[in-house]
């Protein structure tokens, strides 16, 4: 069984997204540890990219700050090696195809396996084009995480049947960012998913409050939150870890 599914063993999973190197890698490490101490079940680490097409302005700006600080893939691998000395929850990378291609896909994915990365999220790779990465991910035991979006429609069943690790269900059209209300008919999407797979599903994009997280987790297996956490990092900088920890605690408590 995928190690990622361990994140969903103890009730609804809370999954924070953190951009590596915003404002620096030392703070990223402290934020991850604070999040785990406060109930995070799985960590999604963003590898910064100059053109993060799935991201709204909050995470775009985090990417710019991280890249301006000199963060690169090699340094992020070192961060994960350090984290794995004491962090045991599953960790996945979220990045873009160019980052993997420019590093060399086999080298990138083999190092992911070596350092303890459990999954890879590539939002700019359509399901039909994942064969550029899937054989390598399977070779090295790294789950390639699939997306299901409101626009997936007739493809939902097909994507669900082939899913690995967990399914990332996109709550809303558009890019990441906090939303005052999520109006997508997610119940219908989840019904089709449940008919085609028993892989855990977590909903992301737009979730920022405990009430939203609970609503999403009530119909799925967990909630993913990024922009609300990145806002805390933008506001507090190196002092952010304790604030992120408090936020994660409130979100995990809502799911419980």
Residue 138 domain-assigned (yes or no): yes
In this predicted structure, which of 135-139, 149-153, 227-231 has the lowest mean pLDDT?
149-153
In a domain? residue 256: no
Q: What is the pLDDT of residues 64-80, one digit of tens each?
A: 999 999 999 999 999 99
For residues 155-164, average pLDDT: 95
Q: Which residue is associated with the tokens 């997280």?
A: 213
- Residue, of 23 and 171, whose pLDDT is higher: 23
Q: Is the pLDDT of residue 176 over 70?
A: no
Q: Are 228 and 250 in contact (CB under 8 A)?
A: no
Decide if 97 is inside a domain.
yes
Asked if residue 254 belongs to a domain, the reply is no
pLDDT tier at 52, thresholds 50, 70, 90: low
Helix, strand, coil tally for the chain in percent (to 5): 50, 15, 35
Residue 102 in this model has a pLDDT that exceeds 60: yes
Nearest to 49 by CA among 90, 91, 93, 82: 93
Residue 4 in domain = no
Number of domains, the chain:
1
Q: Rounded distance, CA 201 to CA 216, Å?
A: 10
E strands within the chain? 13-19, 43-46, 91-94, 119-121, 143-148, 167-170, 201-204, 222-225
Residue 242 has pLDDT above 90, yes or no: yes
Decide if 7 is inside a domain.
no
Buried b or exposed e, range 31-68, using 16+ CB within 10 angstroms: bbbbbbebbbbbbbbbbbbeebebbbebbbbbbebbbe
What percent of the chain shows pLDDT beyond 70? Answer: 93
Q: Is the pLDDT of residue 178 over 60?
A: no
In a domain, 1, yes or no: no
DSSP characters over 69-113: TT--HHHHHHHHHHHTTT--S-EEEE--HHHHHHH-HHHHHHHHH
Parent domain of 44: 12-248
Closest CA to 31 of 231, 233, 179, 204: 233
- The reported pLDDT for the residue numbered 205 is 85
The mean of the pLDDT values for the chain is: 91
Determine the Cα–Cα distance for residues 72 and 56; give it in Å rounded to an integer.
Answer: 21
Q: What is the CATH number of the domain that holds 19?
A: 3.20.20.70
Q: How far is CA 205 from CA 55, 173, 224, 244, in A?
A: 9, 9, 7, 18
pLDDT, mean of residues 185-206: 92
Structural domain contains residue 200: yes
Mean pLDDT of 182-198: 85
Prediction pTM value: 0.93
User: What is the structure's pLDDT at 50?
Assistant: 84
The pLDDT of residue 54? 60
Residue 216's pLDDT is what?
A: 92
- Give the pLDDT of residue 174: 43
pLDDT one-digit tens code per residue, 10-39: 899 999 999 999 999 999 999 999 999 999
Which among 70, 145, 72, 143 is positioned nearest to 112, based on CA atoms?
Answer: 143
């Amino acid at each position: 069984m995928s190690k990622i599914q361990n994140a969903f063993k103890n009730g609804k999973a809370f999954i924070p997204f953190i951009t590596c190197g915003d404002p620096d890698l030392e703070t990223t490490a402290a934020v991850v540890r604070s999040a785990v101490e406060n109930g995070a079940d799985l960590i999604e680490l963003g590898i910064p990219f100059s053109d993060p097409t799935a991201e709204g302005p909050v995470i775009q700006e985090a990417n710019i700050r991280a890249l301006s600080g000199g963060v690169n893939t090699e340094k992020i691998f070192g961060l994960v090696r350090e984290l794995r000395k004491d962090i045991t929850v599953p960790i996945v990378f979220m990045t873009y195809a160019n980052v993997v291609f420019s590093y060399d896909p086999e080298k990138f994915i083999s190092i992911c396996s070596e350092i303890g990365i459990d999954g890879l999220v590539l939002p700019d790779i359509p399901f039909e084009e994942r064969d550029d990465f899937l054989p390598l991910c399977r070779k090295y035991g790294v789950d390639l995480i699939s997306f299901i979006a409101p626009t997936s429609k007739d493809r939902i069943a097909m994507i669900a049947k082939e899913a690995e690790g967990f399914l990332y269900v996109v709550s809303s059209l558009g890019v990441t960012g906090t939303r005052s209300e999520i109006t997508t008919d997610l119940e219908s999407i989840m019904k089709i998913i449940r008919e085609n797979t028993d892989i855990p599903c977590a909903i992301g994009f737009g979730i920022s409050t405990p009430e939203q997280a609970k609503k999403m987790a009530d119909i799925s297996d967990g909630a993913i939150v990024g922009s609300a956490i990145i806002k805390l990092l933008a506001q507090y900088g190196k002092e952010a870890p304790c604030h992120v920890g408090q936020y994660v605690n409130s979100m995990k408590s809502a799911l419980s």
